[in-house]
Amino acid sequence: MIKTYTYSLPFTIPFKTGKSVFKNREGVIVRYIHDTEVVTEASPLPGFSTETLDDVRTFFTSYSDSLSTFFDSNYTFDEISPFLRTLPELPSARFALSMMALMILTKRNKCSIDQILGIQTIPESVLVNTIVGIGSVEEVLSYVEHAFKQGFGTIKLKVPDSPAELASILKNVSEKFPQLTFRLDANQSWPLNKAEENIAYFKGLPVEYIEEPAAISSPEELRQIISNSPLPIALDESITNLTNLEFALKNFPDTVIIIKPTLFGNFIHLAETISRYRSSFEQIVVTTALEAAVGRSMVSEAAFLIGDRNLAHGLNTGNMLVKDLFDDLKIVSGKLLMTDRVVNKLHFDQLNQVFLTS
């Protein structure tokens, strides 16, 4: 039997997109209970997802019986993707259902998801980055010092309107904390003709990569930015679906690609697509789409399975919510241990029912 519940959790700071401001993170919790129990989350991210929360709720209402029939059956791994293709193309719902299908198989067959997917090894732990806010030199130093004391080695910052100012701040910060590496997210905010100039401000600083420096209209423009940049470039917003992802993997083999699994749908197809071009999942960074705790546990599982073993992943976003459905991921000293994964151990009764409506 499939049952769904809607949640609404307040953000600590309202989440802003290009068109709207959201005070709450909303999504759908999906529960399967029959011979075993599995709990997943389908939560489209406003401004990024192609579907809406209403689309997801309507889908589960309409397809509840057919979903229950499939999951109750003695299905095999090879039947999962063909079944998902018969359903409406709602990426967050397909991600939730593909993970659910895999977890049901692991419980019935007493195996792990990596074994089902044919992934040879998974790491004992994954590195996790954190995010700090922008402010004065003193404020950023304070934020970074707090992150450093928590054990984080990689810190992400949003690039403000003045990249030169941020470069000056980073110079001060990196002198005090030389062990740290920084990721800069420009969020396509720089004019294309200013991208190279702005990137140059950060030359010589411990910057791991710059995310989406400018909005591009062609692969040639991206090639030009990458070839002329003294720092690595990472792709995030410009990779919106599996077709875009496959093109990037094929044509930009050394470029960091940031994956929000909620936006890509069927996780089996996602893993197969990446492994076709990067068998060791090199230069793949997995991040949340600001899901609640259930969704973050799913994304953390994805990081163990398809993330670069030597790069930090964007899993530390639970602090962006005032309240949550259960305890946050156990991230210690900038790492999440394999033994602390919870996605396949969740039960609905563990969730904070106050925030759920059926």
| Per-residue pLDDT reduced to its tens digit, 142-191 | 999 999 999 999 999 988 778 999 999 999 999 999 999 999 999 888 99
Q: What is the pLDDT of residue 217?
A: 85
Tell me what pLDDT residue 253 has.
94
Q: What is the mean pLDDT of the chain?
A: 94
- Measuring CA to CA, how many Å separate 211 from each of 68, 190, 191, 208, 236? 41, 11, 14, 10, 7
User: Are both 97 and 197 inside the same structural domain?
Assistant: no
Amino acid identity, residue 322?
V
Check pLDDT > 80 for residue 58.
Answer: yes
Domain co-membership, 168 together with 203: yes
- Does 230 reside within a domain? yes
Query: Is the pLDDT score of 117 beyond 90?
Result: yes
Question: Can you tell me the mean pLDDT for 268-283?
Answer: 96
Residue 139 has pLDDT above 90, yes or no: no
What pLDDT does residue 345 have?
Answer: 86
DSSP 8-state class, residue 346: -
- Quick check: 266 pLDDT over 70? yes
pLDDT reading at 114 higher than 70: yes
Q: H or E element: which one contains 354?
A: none
Same domain, 212 and 310: yes
Residue 32, helix vs strand vs coil: strand
Number of domains forming the structure of the chain: 2
Q: Which residues form the domain of 254?
A: 125-342
Indicate the pLDDT class of residue 133, thresholds 50, 70 and 90: confident
- The mean pLDDT of 260-276, rounded to a whole number, is 98
In a shared domain, residues 229 and 298:
yes
Long-range contacts: 168-172, Cβ < 8 Å, 24+? 168/137, 169/136, 169/137, 169/140, 170/202, 170/205, 170/207, 171/205, 172/137, 172/141
DSSP per-residue string spanning 215-239: --SSHHHHHHHHHH-SS-EEESTT-
- In whole angstroms, how far apart are CA 227 and each of 198, 230, 247, 284, 345? 15, 8, 18, 20, 45
Helix (H) or strand (E) holding 24: strand 21-33
Are 75 and 192 part of one and the same domain?
no
Q: With b meaning 16 or more CB within 10 Å and e meaning fewer, what string describes 12-29?
A: eeebeeeeeeeeebbbbb
In a domain, 54, yes or no: yes
pLDDT at 206: 97
pLDDT for the residue 187:
87
Question: Same domain, yes or no, for 189 and 304?
Answer: yes
Q: In the predicted model, what is the mean pLDDT of residues 204-230?
A: 93
Q: Are residues 152 and 60 in the same domain?
A: no
Q: Is there a single domain that holds both residue 182 and residue 246?
A: yes
CA angle 90, 25, 56 (to 5 degrees): 20
Two tokens, residue 124: 């004992």
Q: What is the pLDDT of residue 46?
A: 93
Q: Which of the given ranges, 83-97, 215-229, 318-332, has the highest pLDDT on average?
A: 83-97
pLDDT, position 18: 64
Distance in Å from the first CA to the final CA of the chain = 14
Whether residues 93 and 65 fall in one domain: yes
Give the pLDDT of residue 19. Answer: 67
Q: Do 131 and 76 share a structural domain?
A: no
- Give yes or no for residue 98 having a pLDDT over 80: yes
Please report whether residue 120 resides in a domain. no
129 domain-assigned: yes
Residue 83 has pLDDT above 90, yes or no: yes
Q: In CATH, what number is assigned to the domain containing residue 163?
A: 3.20.20.120
pLDDT at site 56: 99
Q: What pLDDT shows up at residue 21?
A: 87
Angle between helices 293-306 and 91-109 (to 10 degrees): 70
| Of 238 and 55, more confident | 55
Same domain for 27 and 164, yes or no, is: no
pLDDT 10s digits, 296-347: 999 999 999 999 999 999 999 999 999 999 988 999 999 999 988 888 888 9
